[in-house]
Amino acid sequence: MFDYVVIGKGLIGSAAARYLSMRGRTAVIGPDEPPDLQTHEGVFASHYDQGRITRQLSRDAVWAALARMSIGQYAALGAESGIRFHYPVGGLYVPAAAEASSYLAEMAGLAERVAVDYEVMDEAALHGRWPYLRFSDGWSGLYEAAPAGYINPRQLIRAQLAAGQKQGLEIVRETAVSLESSLDYLTITTDAGQSYRTKKVLVAAGAFSNAFDLLLQKLKVRVKTETIILAETPPDAAERWAEMPPVIYYIESPELDSIYLLPPIRYPDGRIYLKMGCNTVADRYLSDLTEIGEWFRQGQSDVMLEAMRAALQGIMPDLAALSWQTGRCVVTYTTHGRPYIGLVGDGRIGVAVGGNGSGAKSSDGIGRLGAAVLADDRWATDLAEDLFRPVFEA
């Protein structure tokens, strides 16, 4: 019997599993990335990717605290696992012109309060440092220095699991489909027909947390489609743009909102891509396991290709992409905009669910909080517990 089992082997689940493996015999249950997304019939995840922005600054104080908590662990985790996942190249924020003054003042004030190295830059300074970037006329921005940059989510999960295995973490590469309670233990059954007994369970299955019989009540979450584009970048251009920081750009567009752009990154197919994502007018909310699976397998992400391509070429007019493609993921939103972290029922089951579009960079901290509340039966951080309280469907 295990002391703890984590259901969900994604960014939050792998972090929680590592922390719980320091407390007792622990397993994490979750499938590996499928080799072919088009034909896969099981669960999916949004971490099938090479780049996510990481940063310490946010207009939301809670997310800023979670990010700093997580970033503070990056170096130790990288050293413990021997796996590199963090690239501290800095980050650039470019607000919409209408709110540039107030936005930059607010972000600069936050940076001063938490001792983050930053620089407010006008159009001339920005163009002088990154002449290949363009935004709206009269643009200005704020540059956040390292350790801001980007993380490789695939590698971050590998690092969490590798470090956990050194502490005895067991990895079960299956999908949990039911969770049953008895007086002395909990029983998890998987799609492989296997059963695992444990004293306590943490559900960290992201968008799929409501998809199976894991909780007596469904979590009140909304699962939204998210579209990205990948612009295959010629190697010589990628070399010229090697010092490019990730960009968050509040574009003024009737079709797109809140662009994020990653620098050129090499992907598993050996090619180098610029990745851009954003909210779009075609986004929609998915209601169940069937709809989520259909979106990942064959969702109509290409309907936004032209608008997103035009936006990226507007930002990087010198880009002569070798190819273009769209990709699909989902964002899990909670009712209060922060992760659901807490115990349910008799206290033997916990949840750590809901990235709200900001979970990757903060996943170590979210997993750490989920692990602590499950192991200790109490809240163990200065952040108010009510901020993270799980909300369930009526």
Instruction: For 230-250, write each residue's pLDDT tens digit.
Output: 999 999 999 999 999 999 999
Mean pLDDT for the stretch of residues 98-127: 94
Percentage of residues of the chain with pLDDT beyond 90: 94
Q: What's the confidence (pLDDT) of residue 143?
A: 98
* CA distance from start to end of the chain: 33
Mean pLDDT for the stretch of residues 266-274: 97
**Strand pairing of 221-232 and 285-286?**
antiparallel
Contact 46, 8 (CB under 8 A): no
Q: What's the confidence (pLDDT) of residue 380?
A: 79
- Alpha-carbon distance of 300 to 351, in angstroms, equals 32
- Span 340-383, pLDDT tens digits: 999 998 999 999 999 999 999 999 999 999 999 999 988 878 99
Q: What's the confidence (pLDDT) of residue 97?
A: 84
- Span 299-321, pLDDT tens digits: 999 999 999 999 999 999 999 99
Q: What's the confidence (pLDDT) of residue 164?
A: 98
- Alpha-carbon distance of 85 to 53, in angstroms, equals 12
- Span 6-40, pLDDT tens digits: 999 999 999 999 999 999 999 999 999 999 888 89
Hey, what domains does the chain have and what are their CATH numbers?
2-49+153-218+336-388 (3.50.50.60), 91-144 (no CATH), 221-334 (3.30.70)
Q: What's the confidence (pLDDT) of residue 381?
A: 87
**Which band of pLDDT confidence, cut at 50, 70 and 90, is reported for residue 394?**
confident
**Which band of pLDDT confidence, cut at 50, 70 and 90, is reported for residue 252?**
confident
Mean pLDDT of the chain: 96
DSSP codes of every residue in 205-259: -GGGTTSSBT-SS-B-EEEEEEEEEEEE--HHHHHHTTTPPPEEE----SSEEEE
- pTM across the whole model: 0.97
- Alpha-carbon distance of 356 to 327, in angstroms, equals 19
Q: What's the confidence (pLDDT) of residue 247?
A: 98
pLDDT of 138 > 90? The answer is: no
Look at the block and give the residue holding tokens 């390292």. Answer: 146
DSSP letter for 137, please.
Answer: T
The burial of 169, by beta-carbon neighbours within 10 Å (0-12 exposed, 13-18 middle, 19 or more buried), is given as buried
Q: Indicate the SS3 state at residue 322.
A: coil
Q: Indicate the SS3 state at residue 95.
A: coil
Contact 274, 264 (CB under 8 A): yes
Distances (CA, A) of 9 to 115, 161, 172, 247, 314: 34, 9, 9, 28, 38
Count of C-beta atoms within a 10 Å radius of residue 40: 15
Q: What's the confidence (pLDDT) of residue 136?
A: 83
- Alpha-carbon distance of 232 to 323, in angstroms, equals 5
Q: What's the confidence (pLDDT) of residue 291?
A: 96
Q: Indicate the SS3 state at residue 57.
A: coil
Contact 371, 28 (CB under 8 A): no
**Strand pairing of 141-144 and 26-29?**
unpaired
- Alpha-carbon distance of 192 to 275, in angstroms, equals 35
